[in-house]
């Protein structure tokens, strides 16, 4: 990592914004990459409750190169950038902002990162039913990516937030060809959905700080041959992942999606090929300690 003595007027900085953000490993993974590639960059984490002034600050600071955006700002941040691709605008959430000389470019790496984690785990998605728990920004990105590129049979979405759930459902039905079913997340709807789900993707904050040790899915609902993907990456083994493994199910840790999306961000921020092995090692080191 760069030392104070090595930071100068040419140093470019990036940061992750969110609320909460104290748990984030983004500074560790990006700074390790900068060090490995000898780049004059530094990466920080900032708790942000109001996106608009944070984005205004980015626009005003010429050395502020890149921003990673996490819960709960992935949808709101879209209102404050200058350019978003048609695909990311249809998805309706972004997790990355790049400062190109005061012009702010928004994009998403969550969806591609999640799909790569699934394919790397040798999980077949063609003609499968996916149950998605949560309908926020990350869920939107993953849902659109899978609906467009994974050959799903059906997508089931459960969330307690009616507005987010209904908006995601409408957007998926109008923008993709995959059948979508959506309902309020409750014990009854979860039990019903689990009976047909082949792949369960958890996209809520449950299981991460301060709700570590908690899970939305009772172990009794698991069926043989199901795959469980929890996008929460800290702790390394969430309660959901531990329960699924105890039932003998294939699991995908959120750390895989986290590494994949961080690699894509790193390369866009720096215009340099990411040192993937270094970035993976630093994440696993932090999560195992």
Q: How far is CA 279 from CA 14, 42, 68, 259, 275, in A?
A: 16, 15, 16, 7, 6
Distance CA 201, CA 203 (A): 6
Residue 193 burial (C-beta neighbours within 10 Å; 0-12, 13-18, 19+)? buried
Chain-centre distance of CA 164, in angstroms?
17
Q: Do the bridges between strand 41-47 and strand 12-18 make them parallel or antiparallel, or are there none, so unpaired?
A: parallel
When computed from its CA atoms, the radius of gyration of the chain, rounded to whole angstroms, is 19
Residue 283 dihedral angles phi and psi, to the nearest 5°: -65, -50
Distance CA 138, CA 73 (A): 10
Of 265, 236, 273, 279, nearest in space to 70 by CA: 265
SS3 call for 53: helix
Query: Under a CB-based contact definition with an 8 Å cutoff, are residues 190 and 216 in contact?
Result: yes
Q: Nearest-5° angle of CA 253, CA 256, CA 259?
A: 140
Catalytic residue among 74, 154, 195, 250: 74
Which sign does the torsion angle of CA 131, 159, 211, 285 carry? positive
The separation between CA 209 and the C-alpha centre of its own chain, rounded to angstroms, equals 16
Per the annotation, the verdict on 74 as an active-site residue is yes
Residues labelled catalytic = 74
């Amino acid at each position: 990592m760069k030392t104070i003595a090595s930071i100068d007027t040419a140093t470019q900085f990036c940061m992750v914004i969110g609320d909460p953000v104290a748990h984030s490993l983004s500074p560790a993974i990006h700074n390790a990459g900068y060090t490995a590639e000898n780049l004059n960059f530094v990466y920080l984490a900032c708790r942000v409750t109001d996106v608009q002034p944070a984005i205004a600050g980015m626009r005003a600071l010429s050395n502020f190169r890149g921003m990673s955006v996490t819960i709960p700002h992935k949808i709101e941040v879209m209102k404050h950038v200058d350019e978003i691709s048609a695909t990311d605008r249809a998805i309706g959430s972004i997790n990355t902002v790049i400062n190109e000389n005061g012009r702010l470019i928004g994009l998403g790496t969550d969806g591609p990162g999640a799909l790569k984690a699934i394919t790397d785990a040798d999980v077949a998605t063609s003609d499968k039913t996916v149950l998605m728990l949560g309908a926020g920004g990350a869920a939107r990105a993953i849902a659109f990516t899978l609906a467009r590129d994974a050959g799903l049979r059906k997508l089931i979405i459960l969330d307690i937030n009616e507005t987010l759930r209904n908006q995601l459902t409408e957007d998926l039905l109008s923008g993709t060809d995959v059948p979508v079913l959506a309902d309020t997340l409750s014990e009854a709807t979860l039990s019903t959905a689990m009976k047909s789900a082949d792949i369960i993707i958890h996209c809520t904050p449950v299981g991460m700080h301060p709700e570590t040790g908690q899970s939305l899915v009772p172990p009794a609902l698991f069926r043989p041959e199901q795959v469980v993907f929890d996008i929460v990456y800290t702790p390394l083994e969430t309660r959901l992942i531990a329960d699924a493994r105890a039932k003998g199910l294939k699991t995908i840790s959120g750390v895989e999606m986290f590494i994949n999306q961080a690699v894509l961000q790193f390369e866009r921020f720096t215009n340099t090929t990411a040192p993937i092995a270094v970035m993976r090692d630093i994440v696993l080191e932090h999560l195992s300690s």
